[in-house]
Amino acid sequence: MIAAPDRTPLSRSFFDRPVQEVAPDLLGRILVRNTEDGPVELRLTEVEAYAGPTDPGSHAYRGRTARNDVMFGPPGHAYVYFTYGMWHCVNLVCGQDGDPGAVLLRAGEVVRGAELARPRRPAARHDRELAKGPARLCTALDIDRALDGADACGPPSAPLRVLTGSPVPADQVRTGPRTGVAGEGGVRPWRYWQADDRTVSPYRAHTPRRRPRA
């Protein structure tokens, strides 16, 4: 008999660890997005770790700014950013207060509230594609910059929460280069995913953006 996922909320101490410890440990956890229309719950299947000043791929590499301020702590909060002028991505802040680090939530399986997620993702051909990629994940769960700084360790009514779920066994965790990250930051094997899970997004190497010819 398969045990039901544990619905105990993750404590702040879970996130108060180095980002490379937290990232693989987030696989199998349940992200809860509470909205006025009802909750959508997502089992995390793919994440990426980003550290601070020593990580060229991190938004915190060049120091603290208004955009990345949430990354500097305290842990357990959401860091939401806007990219390419059209998409949102959500991270969970890790590490000690003042030491920037965050885990990008790249993909997952919608396990509750799919009827709310589907209208937000009309291009998805199957439910397994609802949150297959970080921008799709945010679209399906209605996450935008309004949730930047939201406390994922808050009360049951909080807009974002993370439950214990069913952690993925270590022998089912895979790791490889981060997706779409250039240079030294791109080759670090800080992307983690659940083996053979169909909701995991495809790996794509960084492709330089070309300027249109005059």
Residue pLDDT, tens place only, 117-149: 999 999 999 999 999 999 999 999 999 999 999
- How confident is the model over 39-54, as pLDDT tens digits? 999 999 999 999 999 9
Domain at 12-194, CATH class: alpha beta
Q: What is the mean pLDDT of residues 12-35?
A: 97
pLDDT at residue 212 tops 80: no
User: What residue segments make up the domains of the chain, in order of their start?
Assistant: 12-194
Q: What is the mean pLDDT of residues 76-98?
A: 94
The answer to whether 35 touches 120, Cβ cutoff 8 Å, is: no
Of the two residues 203 and 64, the one the predictor is more confident about is 64
- Tokens 């992200």 locate to 31
Residue type, 20: Q
* Cβ neighbours around 174 below 10 Å, total: 17
> pLDDT grade, residue 214 (50/70/90)?
very low
CB 127 within 8 A of CB 140: no
pLDDT at 208: 56
**pLDDT score of 159 more than 70:** yes
User: Measured between alpha carbons, how far is 33 from 19 in angstroms, rounded to an integer?
Assistant: 22
Across 153-180, average pLDDT: 96
Angle at 16 between CA 11 and CA 20, to 5 degrees: 115
